[in-house]
Structure 1
């Protein structure tokens, strides 16, 4: 869905759930350690694509996963003083399938997808960290669930 509806010039990462938008580079090693601890030998948390949500200028699939929410809460507590306001506030887990389009286009897609959408289980394969240094995103680390 993302490849079909996301503007191609902006679609530089595969479909994903964002846990945090920004953590400072100084936490790189601790972040890797915590992501490794959260995934090594651990079964992937159950997750469900529960519905669609408007992003105003895009559309996303709402994700429900108490297990992933628990992981994010632990990370939030560990990095509490370092979180930007966007990350310190409430978390709405979702996979963006369209973004940065005219609100009218987003509304049309939301309506079209809403006619056929059915809740279903989804797989969370692992956790990853990425760098953004003003250019393309660079992978920092990947941590797969068992």
Structure 2
């Protein structure tokens, strides 16, 4: 058990080309002074920091599986931002399994059904977000991106500290 109480964040890691594409969009559209992170797919937002060892072990266990593709299914308005929606049966199953393991530690937000997405804009006026959503939706082409593993991070009040990566088995 780790003594650091700051929350843990779990993400799905994407292959380098997809990550770079989403990072470019985020750098272009996210307000610079508020963009502390690379693009990411959050699976769990706030697990207890004191449970780092158990969380790390659970991630290692579920990562012992083949990599899989994630469908990029559309552009989503977040109110004050824009995201790309993602879907994969393997991702849903993985999230369900981890939710069962993390059950007692889940916040109300993390108890909700997974709505996987990559945020490329946030914390802007709603009209600015709608305009970007409309532009990105007009040029959107469905695609697939490879998922390469799971990431574990410590939330530092804005930025995240990387703690571990658990690549999917080849």
Q: TM-score, normalised by structure 1?
A: 0.93
Alpha-carbon RMSD: 1.3
The worse-fitting range, judged by mean Cα deviation, of 108-117 and 134-143 is 134-143
Separation in 1 of the partners of 2:157 and 2:121? 22
Shift of 1:90: 2.0
1:121 pairs with 128, 144, 162, which one? 144
Kindly report which structure 2 residues correspond to 1:50-69, keeping only aligned pairs within 5 A, or say none: 50-69=73-92
The worse-fitting range, judged by mean Cα deviation, of 6-15 and 21-30 is 6-15
SS in 2 for 1:127: strand
Listed one character per residue, the Cα deviations across residues 90-120 of structure 1 (whole Å, up to 9, x for unaligned) are: 2210000101110010000000111100100
Aligned to 1:109: 132
Higher strand share: 2
Runs of 4+ off more than 6 Å:
none
Quick check: 1:3 aligned with 2:30? no
Shift of 1:34: 1.3
Runs of 5+ unmatched residues, structure 2: 1-24
Aligned to 2:3: none
Shift of 1:135: 5.6
Separation in 2 of the partners of 1:133 and 1:114? 33
Aligned to 2:40: 16
Q: TM-score, normalised by structure 2?
A: 0.81
